[in-house]
Amino acid sequence: MDPQVAAHRLTEIALLLEVRGENQFKVRAFVHAARTVQGLEEEDITPLVRSREISRLPGIGSTTLAVLSDLVETGDSDYLNLLRETTPAGLVEMLRVPGLGPTRIHKLHTGLGIETVAELEAAARDGRLAKLSGFGVKTAEKILRGIAVLRETSGKLLHSLAAAEAQRLRKAVGKLPGVVRVEIAGSIRRSAEVVRDIDLVVAVSGAANEVAGALAKVPGVQEVTGGGGPVVALRMINGVRTDVYCVTEASFPVALWRSTGSKEHCELVIDRLQQRGFAIRDDRLVDSKGKAVADVDEEAVYRSAGLAFVPLELRENRGEIDAAEAGTLPELVRLEDLRGALHCHSNYSDGTTSIRDMASAAQQRGWRYLGISDHSQSAQYAGGLDRDAVLRQHDEIDALNQELKGFRVLKGIEADILADGTVDYGDDLLDRFDYVIGSVHSRFSMGSAQMTERILKAMSDPRLTILGHPTGRLLLTREPFPVDIEAVIDVAAESGVALELNCDPHRLDLDWRWLQLARTRGVTIEVGPDAHDPDGLSFLDFGIHIARKGWLEVSDVLNTRDADDVVAFARARRESPAAGRKSRGS
Ligand SMILES: [Zn+2]
Ligand SMILES: [Zn+2]
């Protein structure tokens, strides 16, 4: 039995127990067991289970071991089957509606007899749901929005999850007989923030269908479909679709380029190739005499088309072909260009780690500074700092800076933008920070005009240095709040407020499509990890690709500058005559 399959079954049991309203300890036991099994390196867990050795691992108790034994011996679990038969499938689907947890689903089931998402939608629309105790009109509206989000996002995955799954598959496929080379292609390779499916390109020494047979045995593969041609489609146990393109070694480079896409980008390049007498045939680049060009790589494809090499992140048909032709492609920012990070939390608010440990993690990354930006006093849900805590934190930072060599901790804050557009704390305390990030964390449901007014008002405060996660979106779960982003970009350009690219993998906010516009208007972008522990600093490793997707260069990014320049950037805005006038007027 493959660990991925076993983990998936255990997870399914946990979900079923949860929506049935069963004991939380029982639910968690299965969640923990699933996590342990999923992390196993073994391709087959049978020996571990038969010898009961697996029960020495964390999270495996007698109940979960019994299920695992059942799975290993029969390929199936009686317990799971019983739960499946006696639980309406729609209840589990309802778990995927944002804002709807197992407790509420259980209530809806027992209170209104709701068993499917469609019935849920009907009850939310006709007022029955609002009348149920503990619900209400607001909740009903929220659930309706959640259902819309569910429809929109089903079948999509965050980049971080898809990329991990793709890496796992890549390794497994690489070990199959007859496989010479395998690479991840598609939107994962272009660093898309949300991914619909996984694409792998495989160079094979024999026939493609031999590999198709072997693919069925790769851990986590549930089904192989359409294995006749060069494309083998797989359905993974977790529902992810994977397309495997099997090609000869000679065709590999062009196949990799083509299946990396985007489709529109490749079509435009192929047009240029044809104008110059080249063509792509069976994933080979052929010249005007029909002869295959030798030693082709991706560079050669662009060169033959008369174009500069287009970096992976830019292949989205957003003007990159014209720029590649004119030689005006941006020189994209790289991870090693970052000299520090400015959006980080410590255990003063909702982070888990001391300032000292965050700083040493930043030093280990080769950075020269780390800005601590904890939550402000209005953010009570996140342990926001009152005035005393701020002053204590500043003393601690001063002392630490005395000690640290060649490294500096900056005094930042993530101040709430209040409902009326004022920035938390007021001028006197705000003046003590090296820089101020202002973020909206509450009252997301305002109308667009009101929300835009709120944010623009905050941006008119000369103490605001950076607008944090400007649209508040959570990928696949929460829509951006309604705000006129073009207006925000215009004001940022005019007033010198930096906009954030928040690199939390669930946010990646501002969206890269807007970053591209912000850049052309001359807006400075802060690329922030929003780290709550040292591991969170690594959010920049992927986030930098999103910055690149937004065409950002070194000069566009605030934290490619030295600490002194960051502080000067904040000060310049505070002291600019225009900003001063605005603040006196308000
Ligand atoms: Zn925030
Ligand atoms: Zn934050």
Ligand 1 centroid – CA 531 distance (Å): 10
The candidate with the shortest Cα–Cα distance to 393, out of 373, 379, 407, is 373
Phi, psi of 373 (to 5 degrees): -130, 80
| Centroid of ligand 1 to alpha carbon of 402 (angstroms) | 29
Interval between CA 530 and ligand 2 midpoint (Å): 5
For 58, the enclosing helix (H) or strand (E) is none
Tell me the CA–centroid distance for residue 60 and ligand 1, in Å: 37
Residue 234 pairs in a beta bridge with 224, 242
pTM over 0.75: yes
Q: How far is the CA of 562 from the centre of ligand 1 (A)?
A: 24
CA–CA separation, 165 vs 198, rounded Å? 8
What is residue 578's predicted lDDT score, i.e. its pLDDT? 56
222 C-alpha vs ligand 2 centroid, how far in Å?
39
Name the amino acid, one letter, at 544.
I
Closest CA to 435 of 370, 346, 510, 351: 370
Q: In whole angstroms, what is the distance from residue 515 CA to residue 485 CA?
A: 11
Residue type, 151: R
Residue 417 CA, ligand 1 centroid: distance in Å: 10
From the CA of 422, how far away is ligand 2's center (Å)?
Answer: 18
In the beta sheet, which residues pair with residue 369?
A: 340, 408
**Ligand 2: centre distance to CA 430 (Å):** 17
Q: What is the reported pLDDT for 240?
A: 81
Residue numbers of the chain with a pLDDT score lower than 50: 579-586
How many angstroms separate the alpha carbon of residue 424 from the centre of ligand 2?
Answer: 15
Q: How far is the CA of 428 from the centre of ligand 2 (A)?
A: 22
CA 507–ligand 2 middle distance (angstroms) = 11
Compute, in angstroms, the gap from residue 406 CA to the centroid of ligand 1.
Answer: 29
User: Quick one: pLDDT at residue 395?
Assistant: 98
In the reported structure, the alpha carbon of residue 372 is separated from the centroid of ligand 2 by a whole-number distance in angstroms of: 10
429 CA → ligand 2 middle, Å? 19
CB atoms within 10 A of CB 153: 15
- Spell out where 5-151 has E strands: none
What distance in angstroms lies between residue 382's CA and the mean position of ligand 1's atoms? 10
Question: For the chain, what's the residue count?
Answer: 586
The predicted structure's pLDDT at residue 43: 83
Q: Which pLDDT value is given to residue 230?
A: 79
> Whose atoms come closest to the Cα of 442: which ligand?
1
CA 374 – ligand 1 centroid, Å? 9
Contact between 529 and 341 under an 8 Å Cβ cutoff? The reply is yes
Ligand nearest to the CA of 343: 2
| Residues in CB range of 410: below 8 A, 6 or more apart | 340, 342, 369, 370, 371, 372, 397, 434, 435, 563, 566, 567
CA–centroid distance, residue 483 to ligand 1 (Å): 16
pLDDT at res. 580: 43
Distance 545 CA to ligand 2 centre (A): 20
Distance CA 283, CA 271 (A): 15
Closest ligand to 371 CA?
A: 2
Ligand closest to CA 532? 2
**Token digits of residue 305:** 């088309």
Number of helical H runs and strand E runs in the chain: 26, 16
